Amino acid sequence: MEEGKLITLLSRDDIRLLARLATDCRMGIYLVGGGVRDLLLGRPSQDLDFALDGECVELPRRFAAAAGGTFFWLDQERRHGRVVLGRGGDRVSYDFVPLQGGSIEKDLLLRDFTINALAVSLTSAGNGIVDPLGGRDDLQRGIVRTCSPRAFADDPVRLVRAFRFAATLGFTLAESTWDEIPANVPLLGNVAAERVRDELFRILDVSSSLPFIRQLAATGLLSRIVGAGYCSGGIETSFGRVGKIEQLEGEVERCFPAEHDRVVAHLERQAEDGITLRALLKMSAFIGPVEAEEVAVLAEKLRLGNRSRLVLQQLCRAEFPVGLLLPSELQTSRAMYRLFRDESPVGLELVLLALADGVVTHDVARRFVGYYCHDYDAEGDDLYLTGAAIMILLGTGPGPHVGAAVARLRDAESRGVVNSKGEAEEFLRKNQLTNPASMG
């Protein structure tokens, strides 16, 4: 089975192109790390890493030109480059770095975990998978194990990354790796907060993240990340709220059968790069309800962007908005519209949080969720581009064409085709929305 997967990999057009270019440059090239791991696990991978054994620094640029992609340096001095092909859900990135240590075996020994210390040569056919540390055995056993006793000291963000891999792959930490963590927790202070934040939110984005959040707390990592105040006496209550949110997410199809796809797509949207609304909802369940000043301090500690800060502040308030608590006879379309308009961009999340907390009934939640998914039109308020911004982009005034642009953009964002303001602008331009007549 492993041989068949390797044959499939080496026959891919992009891999064959890289192999040919490397041969022309008389250099070796290896697919390393997560790409090999995911290949063995049968998981799709859109972020591929390559180690280059040679001095042809132009190979990534030549690959981009031949494949119709974009090349840029991540670190030109150390010759770390990236090529990106495609956009949205079809986007694939290829990272290129020089081989470390003088050989592929020594390079792999410097990596984080054994399941990532794997390589496949693209230019030496028949050599199979290079696996100096038994990473394939750990993959089969579902274990995350450090490559060396210095793994955490070499890059302390690996302390959190270990749990991220365990969460996303459904693995457990090796006992030896678990035992190494508490003594290394203080090293996390030497890591850029953004890197730690990204690992934490990738854990929160997993459907069953609670066991791993508990493990972060048990090792002392969680208090180091969010502050000791959130990990003291009331932590079990916080864990309980996160558990209720995850239970509700697992029951979305049963609770909201007609809106299931829309709700899931909404929660998968990103407030900023790498941080989904789902993850922010769980974070708010863990830390709230608290005063706005406390949220501001935490947001600064985690280096959250403005949109994520706003979402967290609105979800962590001590009281739910009055519009959500109205008697059923007053829950009119107009009242629900006002709620979602005033609470944008967190209206749907507020309903789910209130349902998980038992503040509203399932019937009330269904009414609000149904209205949001089928009738509510925020005129682009929850999009990367507002209605006003779209009119500026189109060079026109209000009209049906703006509403059509909003609808197309909302659909593109919900499907992950558009993930930033720049991509939203490019999406509208490519769909010929600069001509109002075409949208009449």
What pLDDT digit, counting tens, does each position of 96-151 carry?
999 998 899 999 999 999 999 999 999 886 668 999 999 999 999 999 999 999 99
Which parts of 192-346 fold into alpha helices (H)?
193-204, 210-219, 221-226, 235-250, 252-255, 260-267, 277-287, 292-301, 306-315, 333-343
Q: What is the mean pLDDT of residues 315-337?
A: 88
Predicted confidence band of residue 404 (pLDDT cuts 50, 70, 90): confident
- Predicted pLDDT of residue 435: 42
Closest to 365 (Cα-Cα) out of 281, 286, 254, 287: 254
Other CB atoms within a 10 A radius of the CB of residue 168 amount to: 15
pTM of the model: 0.81
pLDDT of 58 > 50? The answer is: yes
Predicted confidence band of residue 243 (pLDDT cuts 50, 70, 90): very high
Task: Say if residues 215 and 177 touch (Cβ distance below 8 Å).
Answer: no
Specify the CATH superfamily of domain 2-137.
Beta Polymerase, domain 2 (3.30.460.10)
- Predicted pLDDT of residue 186: 95
The segment(s) of the chain belonging to CATH 3.30.460.10 are: 2-137
> Mean pLDDT for the chain?
88
Chain segment 333-345, per-residue pLDDT in tens: 888 988 888 888 8
Q: Which residue has the higher pLDDT, 394 or 175?
A: 175
